Amino acid sequence: MSEWCQNKRCPQKKNQNQIRGSKGAKYYQSNKASGYYEHWCSMGCRESWFQEHKETCMNAVGFIDKQILPLDDAWFVDFYYSWRDSNGDGGYYLINKLKGIKRAIPRQQAQTPEDIAEDRTWTTIDETQAKELAVQLGLAS
């Protein structure tokens, strides 16, 4: 690990905050790596690093073939604002587009107790929980 941005061209950004040294011997230095970007200072530096090293990364991780999400695993829960819903009523839905199912469900089924306690509106249970709910409601086995 390093505290410095991993893009070797980071100093070439030539930002004011990167200037160090005394008159006549000034230079630009890398930014520190920041929390959100982990090993880089910014999205631009991360992208620059990735463009240079993507072949190395892919060879290290390995390539994969086409992935498939089958019918029975395609459940999810979504929140629709009324303006986004074709019926005009909004709310929470258990959905499986591959099965052609969009079933209105109460908030208690659509969200975790934490979501409800925190009064978040648009967060919903994850896809594994959505599948379990579909089984409970007799929509899947």
Q: How many CA atoms lie within 13 A of 93 on its CB side?
A: 19
Query: According to CB under 5 A, which one of 41, 77, 134, 140 is a site residue for Zn ion?
Result: 41
Both structure tokens of 35: 């929390």
Q: How far apart are CA 134 and CA 141, in angstroms?
A: 8
- Shortest distance (Å) from residue 53 CB to Zn ion: 14
**How many residues of this chain interact with Zn ion, rule: CB under 5 A?**
6
For the bound state, the minimum distance from the C-beta of residue 55 to Zn ion, rounded and expressed in Å, comes to 21
- The answer to whether the beta carbons of residues 76 and 95 sit under 8 Å apart is yes
Stretch that binds Zn ion, among 20-28, 42-50, 54-62, 116-124 (CB under 5 A): 42-50
Could you give the string, one character per residue 6-35, with x where binding to Zn ion holds by CB under 5 A and - elsewhere?
-x--x--------------------x----
Quote the DSSP letter at residue 31.
P
Question: Which residue in the set 5, 77, 130, 133 belongs to the binding site for Zn ion (CB under 5 A)?
Answer: 5
Report yes or no: 94 and 130 within 8 Å, Cβ to Cβ. Answer: yes
Report which of 78, 24, 15, 22 is spatially closest to residue 45, judged by C-alpha positions: 15
**First and final C-alpha spacing in the chain:** 47
Shortest approach of Zn ion to residue 52 CB, angstroms?
13
Position 94 contacts Zn ion (CB under 5 A): no
**43 versus 58: smaller Cβ distance to Zn ion:** 43
**Residues near Zn ion (CB under 5 A):** 5, 7, 10, 31, 41, 45
